[in-house]
Structure 1
């Protein structure tokens, strides 16, 4: 009884520490930029602090969701009700963090578009564009680690969070609950080979996308970047789809309704947003649409292609999955559905941008 009480108190202390770190990182980040004028630039020193705070924020948020699900009574009842494994809990936590990041990104995009797109399309900028580029870049590198942890616990019997706070004995290191032999922990490079598209997407957005917004765009405005931020509007729906799937609610009305809303949001924000931004550019320079596209620097055209082509691919996968849901004639899904479900599940891990798990 005393041991149980000590563990409960330790877990409450851990949750309080995670909450303090998480809220503190966000508050400090907001205080760093809230006093700036709209067209101020973010210095490298200020930006580096924002990136560090972003890393603390997203990591502690992920850990907070996991501790709440794995170490509390309410979390235990939730896991028991839906029969969730440790890996499935981590996967749900990853999707929840993706949804939070998407909300921040959309708020940034709305502010940037409201300011820059209503002024000079080519030159007007808002500090939020650079500020969130610094803060949000940390998310994509955190998410690579987070998705790797999900992959480890979904493919092995290692119960990481049960042994996280103490050193396991030799017998526990070789056996999991139920005397099942623990599968060898896959390496990070094994994960990279398993999820190359998502990994490259995260590296591109978190690396090249960050550099373009901060340095490579020169004196150009950030109206177009506002639309890139707004591409994340579909991510909460994608995350909810993944969570409902993990909870075994794929036959529910909520899953169907969310799927339709996800398709519409994805079409508007991921597929049509960049072409619309190009339309605004063509109007700003006074050229026909395709002539305006031709006038763009080669690097811009390549970047648009890298951003847009994966969205078209993922939208195709989602559309195929939606058609199968509506055409399914029996409660038992055909064997072929498993492949498309797996592909769509890989998409739902994006965040973007997944930008895809999690775009």
Structure 2
């Protein structure tokens, strides 16, 4: 148990440092750019590993409550340190951005100012990560008492959308919003986020209702309180983030149409 957690504690920061060093010294990226790209890379690697593990677990468990798969507890133990690492990596990226903007201050005070600013900017994401470690970790390993590996596997599939989210942010950072790659990635991000995050919790309740042969609306009354609490706190976050993604896609679509109309008018005047 401790060995797996220790391995995860070394793997994710180690991959970050290796990627950052490579980008800095072999590719010639700036400190800030290397940190941001490395953070996105590690998040994408973790997402691929999690969704792969989730696919194997969910596919292997025919009985959604009783079937077990060794990969369930193994990956949870290995991946839990990622959420603590990711908070630090996100803070480091934020701090480097502030320094580039000329907002840094000397000594301890600069760290304190950066922490406050970071928490104001990323409070929801930080709370999400803290909740994953403080609540979801014990709920997944102890409170469920070895049952429901299928549901754990399905929950891991939520990470499928993460690589598309990371790629979209990288493309925006490098002013590639109008490229075909960004448009394709945006479509895949919307599809995977809606399917694997927004529809995730309704599907979990539906799957249990089919297993227990009860109506879906009865599931919250018989499900463990930990499941209901986790869904009540995590699902609204997914809905909120999906709304932000949709707003961003709508702004880009509107801006693209405005740009096209302007070009058409200019072409007409030239003719």
Provide TM-score, normalisation by structure 2: 0.88
Equivalent residues of 1:129, 1:225 under 8 A apart? yes
Task: Determine the structure 2 residue equivalent to 1:96.
Answer: 41
Give the total of aligned pairs: 254
Where does residue 147 of structure 1 map in the other structure? 90
2:209 to 263, 282, 289: 282
Of 170, 174, 183 in structure 2, the residue corresponding to residue 247 of structure 1 is: 174
Q: Give the Å deviation of 1:276.
A: 1.2
Q: Does residue 220 of structure 2 align to residue 220 of structure 1? A: no
Superposition deviation, residue 292 in structure 1:
2.0
Cα separation, partners in 2 of 1:259 and 1:49, compared to 1, 3 Å: same
Instruction: Give, in angstroms, the shift of residue 294 of structure 1.
Output: 2.4
Q: Which segment is superposed worse, 292-301 or 126-135?
A: 292-301
Aligned CA-pair RMSD: 1.9
Q: How do residues 227-238 of structure 1 correspond to structure 2 at under 5 angstroms?
A: 227-238=154-165
Partner deviation per Cα, 1:197-232 (whole Å, 9 max, x = no partner): 111100111221111111011242211111110000
CA-to-partner distance for each residue in 1:163-222, whole Å, 9 max, x for gaps? Answer: xxxxxxxxxxxxxxxxx8954433364233332111110011122111111101124221
2:139 partner SS? helix
1: distance between equivalents of 2:98 and 2:50? 31
Aligned to 2:111: 186
Deviation at 1:268, TM superposition (A): 0.5
Q: Which deviations, in whole Å up to 9, do the C-alpha atoms of 1:268-305 show, x marking residues without a partner? A: 00011221121110011110111123222333211111
- 1:110·1:226 contact (CA, 8 Å) conserved in 2? yes
Instruction: Name which of 10, 33, 48 aligns with 1:56.
Output: 10
Residues 5, 79 of structure 2: 8 Å contact kept? yes
The reply to whether residue 130 of structure 1 matches residue 57 of structure 2 is no
CA distance in structure 1 between the partners assigned to 2:71 and 2:146 by the alignment: 16
Q: Cα deviations across residues 26-83 of structure 1 (Å, max 9, x unaligned)?
A: xxxxxxxxxxxxxxxxxxxxx11111111111111101111111112xx12xx4xxxx
Which of residues 16, 19, 24 in structure 2 aligns to 1:70?
Answer: 24
User: How many Å separate the matches in 2 of 1:327 and 1:193?
Assistant: 29
Cα distance in 2 between the residues matched to 1:297 and 1:154: 43
In the alignment, the residues of structure 2 paired with residue 233 and residue 206 of structure 1 have an alpha-carbon distance, to the nearest angstrom, of 20
- Distance in 1 (CA, whole Å) between partners of 2:172 and 2:67 is 43
The answer on 1:115 being equivalent to 2:60 is: yes
| 1:145 shift after superposition | 1.1
Contact 1:112 1:128 (8 Å CA) reproduced: yes
Structure-to-structure mapping, 1:5-24, within 5 angstroms: none
SS in structure 2 of the partner of residue 156 of structure 1: helix
User: Which residue is 2:99 aligned to?
Assistant: 156
Secondary structure of 1:312 counterpart = helix
**TM-score normalized by structure 1?**
0.67
In structure 1, what is the equivalent of residue 193 of structure 2? 266
Which structure carries more helix by proportion?
A: 2
**In 2: Cα distance, 1:310 partner to 1:225 partner:** 19
Partners of 2:23 and 2:258 in 1: CA distance: 34
Indicate the SS of the match to 2:148: coil
**Aligned in 2, Cα 1:181/1:274: closer, same or farther, shift over 3 Å?**
closer
Return the alpha-carbon distance in structure 1 between the equivalents of residues 167 and 103 of structure 2: 33
Contact 1:137 1:210 survives alignment (8 Å):
yes
Q: Secondary structure at the match of 2:38?
A: helix
